[in-house]
Amino acid sequence: MATQEDDDDEINPFTTVLNDQDHHEQQPNSLTTVHDGAPEQQSYSLRSIESTVVIRQLPSEGLSFQLWPAATALISLLDSYRSSPSTSPLSAAFSGSQRQLRILELGSGTGIVGIVAAATLGGNVTITDLPHVVPNLQFNKDANKEVITSNGGAVTVAALRWGNVDDVAEIGRDFDVVLASDVVYHDHLYEPLLETLRFLLLGFEEEKEMKKKKKEKETVFVMAHLKRWKKESAFFKKAKKLFDVDVLHTCAPSDRARVGVVVYRFVPKGLIAPSEV
């Protein structure tokens, strides 16, 4: 993922990516390699539902097929939200919906965040990524069918290219929460990602009025992010012109990184009460 232009920046993403052994040492809910003849399969135990999620990583296929640190942080938070919603930093984003949460994940990679959201929240989750990533997402969804359905969740897999309005239109925009982890890295992707967020969160004026009339909550974007480069501030600067952005949670840095994963909430401007920010 590092390019020539990133060389002068401060943190190399590869050195901040933890392998399964590191996770095992650092976190009680650990990723462990399953030694059953399928070395790319890893399991993640979720305490809140006493279940295990299994995913396939294909590191040789590229960055979309690996688990990134912000995803791991978000999975832990989802697990603890399920155990104790009122004390969880995610309660600001997830509470208030009377029905099954409808969640869209952008840049899902292995799909584990969306799969864990479906299993822990009983949510109806659409996991998405670039078209060539979809088969692995489908594989991971199928591998977790039992844990998803037995916890009242549902997962749909779809291709969604950032900046492509037709992809979003096909999937629909009727979501309570948009989730993402580690999606701010290449600067040429900032604008397409923001374009998709603009379309998902702000939509059209008439739709916003309709939601208000029906007393429906606005769509919220929850993003877990590990800062690697100074240039990322350009993404946040642009995002803040469209959304109110606040920090829900900051994780302690792992021993390989200088900073911890930060979980942000983005909402259409003016919706967060000043006391909440």
Ligand X SMILES: C[S@@+](CC[C@H](N)C(=O)[O-])C[C@H]1O[C@@H](n2cnc3c(N)ncnc32)[C@H](O)[C@@H]1O
Instruction: State the binding string over 178-217 for ligand X (x if CB under 6 A, else -).
Output: ---xxx-x---x--x-------------------------
Count CB atoms within 10 A of the CB of residue 170.
11
Q: In this complex, which beta carbon is closest to ligand X, that of residue 71 or of residue 93? A: 71
Taking the complex as a whole, the smallest distance from the CB of residue 22 to ligand X amounts, in Å, to: 15
Label residues 28-63 b or e (16+ Cβ within 10 Å = b).
ebbbebeeeeeeebbebebebbebebbbebeeeeee
Out of 17, 49, 53, 67, which residue is the one contacting ligand X (CB under 6 A)? 67
* Stretch of residues binding ligand X (CB under 6 A), selected from 16-24, 45-53, 157-165, 267-275: 157-165
Taking the complex as a whole, the smallest distance from the CB of residue 213 to ligand X amounts, in Å, to: 33
Q: In this complex, which beta carbon is closest to ligand X, that of residue 126 or of residue 181? A: 181
For the chain, the straight-line distance linking the first and the last C-alpha, in angstroms and rounded, comes to: 33
Total chain residues near ligand X (CB under 6 A): 22
Out of 11, 55, 71, 127, which residue is the one contacting ligand X (CB under 6 A)? 71
Out of 44, 68, 229, 243, which residue is the one contacting ligand X (CB under 6 A)? 68
Label residues 128-158 b or e (16+ Cβ within 10 Å = b).
bbeeebbebbebbbebbeebbeebebebebb
Q: Which of residues 224-263 bind ligand X (CB under 6 A)?
A: none
Label residues 86-112 b or e (16+ Cβ within 10 Å = b).
eebbbebbbeeeeeebbbbbbbbbbbb
Out of 107, 114, 123, 153, which residue is the one contacting ligand X (CB under 6 A)? 107
Out of 2, 34, 63, 202, which residue is the one contacting ligand X (CB under 6 A)? 63
Please report how many Cα atoms fall inside a 13 Å half-sphere around the Cα of residue 175, on the Cβ side. Answer: 28
Residue 104 to residues 4, 175, 207, Cα–Cα distance (Å): 32, 7, 18
Q: In this complex, which beta carbon is closest to ligand X, that of residue 162 or of residue 272? A: 162
Q: Which residues of the shown chain bind ligand X in the complex (CB under 6 A)?
A: 63-64, 67-68, 70-71, 107-110, 129-130, 133, 160-162, 181-183, 185, 189, 192
